[in-house]
Structure 1
Amino acid sequence: MNSLLITATDTEAGKTVLTTALAAYWQKYRASHSFGILKPIQSGEGDRETYQKLFSLQQSPSEITPLYFQAPLAPPIAAAKENRNVDLGLVWQTLTKLQQNRDFVFVEALGGLGSPVTFELTVADLAAEWRLPTILVVPVKLGAISQAVANVALAKLTKVNLLGIVLNCSQPYSEADIEDLAPADLIQSLTNIRVFGCLPYFENPSDLEKLAASVSNLDLEHLWQRM
């Protein structure tokens, strides 16, 4: 296994934060091993530019994001506005090349697990078809439990290799707040999927030291051993 897909329950759930944190951890603690970052499809500015700014990836923009659309909309809709198609063959070629040239590849999905990639396929379908081991980001908020249950059900239905869940605080929460809104034990019990831990709120999401430290606090040891 030399790739990991980071997906979520929805947009703005914390995929970029976790992807950045994982890459920061890899850069600090596994410096002898090369890594790449792939954002297969991007609609509007954002993640690709963030990764270029924070990491010396030695990847061209198209090697980070092979498919880029101007409108910040679901890919099939954004593509249609530009009279283009969502060329998944190009994405697959880019991923394969990265897997061959890097020790590890972090793949940040678009939107949530149920987000459309084309008019026929969702992120979950792609994760399953491409056999990408997957982590699901669940934002700490009211409704987190039901979102986790629904997305895990989708992952199981589509046979995604879902390794576990990471909770993410998009705003400063106390431990009591987190336990009330997104209790890890209850989510694990309802989904039968491991919760690796919770990312804190980051005032500065570009602080690689703090991001790497946050990954050290997640229960990912058995995951690293498989990589």
Structure 2
Amino acid sequence: MLLISSTDTEAGKTALTATLAAYGRKYRPQQNWGILKPIQCGNGDREFYSRVFDRSIEDINPIYLAAPLAPPIAAAQAGTNIELGVAWQALQRMRQQYDFVLVEGIGGLGTPLTAELVVADLAREWRLPTVLVVPVKLGAIGLAVANVALAKHYNVQLRGIVLNCPEPLSDAEIANFAPAELIQSLTSTPVLGCLPYLPNLEDLDLLAAAAANLELEVLLPNLAYGGRQVRV
């Protein structure tokens, strides 16, 4: 399992999740990959994954709230409560059905799930190895430092950072906005690669090729790379 979290909304969680899923489909067809979006507020991710990876919305997303707001606010507007046990049960079912499960978080590590819990609480309590997606833009260094500190405070099993280009950027711009060596030095956390700008997240060949930019052996250390299935 792997939790894909980030610094904030629109940072690139869906891009990384889709990249890994496309890579698995193309290069590890002997393995069955699942995608879980435990909570979704508003339309978007679950519909995308269902369409592109041929999964049922019910399989992908156990808790849905109509308002595109933070979960406790969306739940309050809907007159309901968020029952994280429902999402936990969905994860356990997926662990039995799939060889590997990609769990896409909501918002960033500090995004509230309830009035008492944030995404980092879920990562810790569910013991989910986590990758932090940091968007390449002005301020990326500070975002990385703050969110790694948050992950350490909550004892999240952080495997590393993946940088993501939300728009076309030159190598010089990437180096200026999000220098990997400086981020690693400041956070004591490895940068596991940088996703280029992906103009079409429904192009599975493009997504699978983008995985070459990532240190998959670190990002997915228990995954079979020699054709042997390993359940993690």
Scaled by the length of structure 1, what TM-score is found? 0.96
- Secondary structure of the residue aligned to 2:220 is helix
Q: Which amino acid aligns with 1:110?
A: I
Distance in 2 between residues matched to 1:224 and 1:112, nearest whole Å: 21
Distance in 2 between residues matched to 1:19 and 1:78, nearest whole Å: 24
Tell me which moved more, 207-216 or 123-132: 207-216
Partner of 1:39 in structure 2? 37
| Aligned pair partner of 1:69 in 65, 70, 74 | 65
Partner of 1:17 in structure 2? 15
Q: Following TM superposition, by how much is the alpha carbon of 1:83 offset from its aligned partner in structure 2, in angstroms?
A: 0.7
Matched length? 223
| Aligned pair partner of 2:204 in 203, 208, 215 | 208
Pairwise CA RMSD: 0.9
Gaps spanning 5+ residues in structure 2: where? 224-232
| Aligned pair partner of 1:139 in 135, 138, 160 | 135
Q: Following TM superposition, by how much is the alpha carbon of 1:101 offset from its aligned partner in structure 2, in angstroms?
A: 1.1
Conserved in 1, the CA contact under 8 Å of 2:46 and 2:61? yes
Gaps spanning 5+ residues in structure 1: where? none
Partner of 1:87 in structure 2? 83
The alignment-based identity, stated in percent, is 61
Partner of 2:51 in structure 1? 53
- Secondary structure of the residue aligned to 1:215 is helix
- Secondary structure of the residue aligned to 2:26 is helix
Scaled by the length of structure 2, what TM-score is found? 0.94
Conserved in 2, the CA contact under 8 Å of 1:25 and 1:216? no
- Secondary structure of the residue aligned to 2:58 is helix
- Secondary structure of the residue aligned to 2:29 is coil
Distance in 2 between residues matched to 1:70 and 1:24, nearest whole Å: 28
Structure 1's consecutive aligned runs of 4 or more residues displaced over 4 angstroms after TM superposition are none
